[in-house]
Chain A
């Protein structure tokens, strides 16, 4: 293990870690928004749009991200739509993440007690107010563990984004092995990078899960 070489590799990996985090966070934001909207629409059972959303969720959950990315990056230009590597990866990840978030938040919607809805209706709130003020906040809090799972899943899926020439951690590892022939050092940096990226999220979510259980027990009996 050549530690001098590892020192040389650190700046390259640092940049890739930042890019991975940037991509993940953008994708998470978009997926969360998409997921909440889709899930709310499904919950309210709006006729045609719910079907479209169901179709979207089925397609996105049953196909791998690799295919979606290849399709977006190499087939779309044939129709004049050319997305950059980052946008392509973002689109693909958000498309995938949106459906997973939708399922996660749906779990939250399903576990809201009926009494909450009935109480809301009985004090004269209309459907829209009911959703915004009562159901949605609770659904999001209740589905926190599932949302946390999806967030970590999305961060890990960025490892595949290298196929569209995005310089994330895996891409950089392959590149470094190809240029400097230092397999051991590169693989070591690979593991360290992913631990550095994901471990804080895992610890944060474990901490939050405990807090939510406490809230759950106290308020929502």
Chain B
């Protein structure tokens, strides 16, 4: 007699193809997050080390960081989508999302690296140089292992945030899981009025599984290397 249970069975049977479409569309989200995360980590670490060298770099960096942080990501996506275009139609929603996430990710990662490096006591650097290490050896053997402990939890937090934030790209027209979900609901609006509950519930579960997997993987990684 449970309305929900009858609905679930009906829905799964009729709309199995709908769930397949949702999974395929979720790959778009995952693709955007993966590419942006990989690019951000690489450039973020690079940027973090470059900026830590001089005080003036740090000041300029902090100003740009605040500018990037003040405007919400949705607003940046909107801005870039309408302004990064010429006669040729400009970049697609996916490309714009990757660019915006990459810029945001790079700044955030650099900030994580920078604050970890600032939190490390100065004598670590000085002792390393005093015993004759070159800069390369200093960073490789002394600095990096120590800041890893501070960087890793924040980095994982950021990666999970980036995966979550890809849900916003639906609002600039990218065909990803939320948009496909809405299409399925639209098509089912007469046949199955309970559709929104199941579709949004399924998407909810997808994001939860994806983000939780990343966090669990990080915990496993931390324990394994006893960081």
Query: Is B194 positioned at the interface, with any CB of A under 8 Å from its CB?
Result: yes
Query: How long is the Cα–Cα vector from A194 to B72 in the complex, in angstroms?
Result: 8
User: Can you name the residue of chain A whose Cβ is closest to the Cβ of B7?
Assistant: A78
- Map CB proximity to A onto B153-170 as digits: 1 under 8 Å, 0 otherwise: 000000010001111101
Nearest-neighbour CB distance to chain A for B113, whole angstroms, equals 18
- Interchain CB contact under 8 A, B72 and A187: no
Nearest-neighbour CB distance to chain B for A3, whole angstroms, equals 19
Which residues, 69 to 120 on B, are CB-close (under 8 Å) to A? 69-75, 78-79, 82-83
User: Can you name the residue of chain A whose Cβ is closest to the Cβ of B66?
Assistant: A202
Nearest-neighbour CB distance to chain B for A56, whole angstroms, equals 12
- Interchain CB contact under 8 A, B200 and A202: no
- Interchain CB contact under 8 A, B197 and A67: no
- Interchain CB contact under 8 A, B70 and A170: no
- Interchain CB contact under 8 A, A71 and B200: yes
Query: How long is the Cα–Cα vector from A82 to B34 in the complex, in angstroms?
Result: 37
- Interchain CB contact under 8 A, A71 and B171: no
- Interchain CB contact under 8 A, B194 and A78: yes
Nearest-neighbour CB distance to chain B for A174, whole angstroms, equals 8
Which residues, 59 to 92 on A, are CB-close (under 8 Å) to B? 59, 61-64, 66-68, 70-71, 74-75, 78
Query: Is A131 positioned at the interface, with any CB of B under 8 Å from its CB?
Result: no
Query: How long is the Cα–Cα vector from A187 to B70 in the complex, in angstroms?
Result: 15
Q: Which residues of A are found within 8 Å of B166, using beta-carbon distances?
A: 64
- Interchain CB contact under 8 A, B75 and A191: yes
- Interchain CB contact under 8 A, B171 and A62: no
Beyond A64-B168, A66-B167, A183-B82, is A75–B200 a contact (Cβ under 8 Å)?
yes
B interface, by DSSP: helix, strand, loop or mixed? helix
- Interchain CB contact under 8 A, A75 and B201: yes
Chain B interface size band reads 35 or more
Residue in contact with B211 in the complex, picked from A62, A71, A78, CB distance below 8 Å: A62
Query: Is B61 positioned at the interface, with any CB of A under 8 Å from its CB?
Result: no
Q: Which residues of A are found within 8 Å of B215, using beta-carbon distances?
A: 62
Query: Is B128 positioned at the interface, with any CB of A under 8 Å from its CB?
Result: no
Please tell me which stretch of A27-35, A39-47, A153-161 contacts chain B, meaning at least 4 of its Cβ atoms lie within 8 angstroms of it: A153-161
- Interchain CB contact under 8 A, B207 and A78: no
- Interchain CB contact under 8 A, A156 and B66: no
Query: Is B203 positioned at the interface, with any CB of A under 8 Å from its CB?
Result: yes
User: Can you name the residue of chain B whose Cβ is closest to the Cβ of A194?
Assistant: B71
- Interchain CB contact under 8 A, A173 and B78: yes
- Interchain CB contact under 8 A, A78 and B160: no
- Interchain CB contact under 8 A, A75 and B196: yes
Query: Is A164 positioned at the interface, with any CB of B under 8 Å from its CB?
Result: no
User: Can you name the residue of chain B whose Cβ is closest to the Cβ of A173?
Assistant: B78
Nearest-neighbour CB distance to chain A for B83, whole angstroms, equals 7
Query: Is A58 positioned at the interface, with any CB of B under 8 Å from its CB?
Result: yes
Nearest-neighbour CB distance to chain A for B114, whole angstroms, equals 15
Query: How long is the Cα–Cα vector from A169 to B72 in the complex, in angstroms?
Result: 11
Query: Is B221 positioned at the interface, with any CB of A under 8 Å from its CB?
Result: no
Q: Give 12 CB contacts A-B under 8 Å.
A: A63-B207, A66-B168, A66-B170, A66-B178, A67-B203, A71-B204, A75-B197, A75-B201, A78-B193, A187-B79, A190-B79, A191-B75
Known pairs A71-B201, A152-B69; list 13 more (Cβ under 8 Å): A58-B212, A62-B208, A64-B167, A71-B197, A75-B200, A157-B72, A159-B72, A170-B75, A170-B78, A191-B79, A194-B71, A194-B72, A202-B69
Closest CB pairs A-B (n = 10): A62-B211, A64-B167, A159-B72, A156-B72, A75-B197, A64-B164, A74-B196, A66-B167, A159-B74, A71-B200
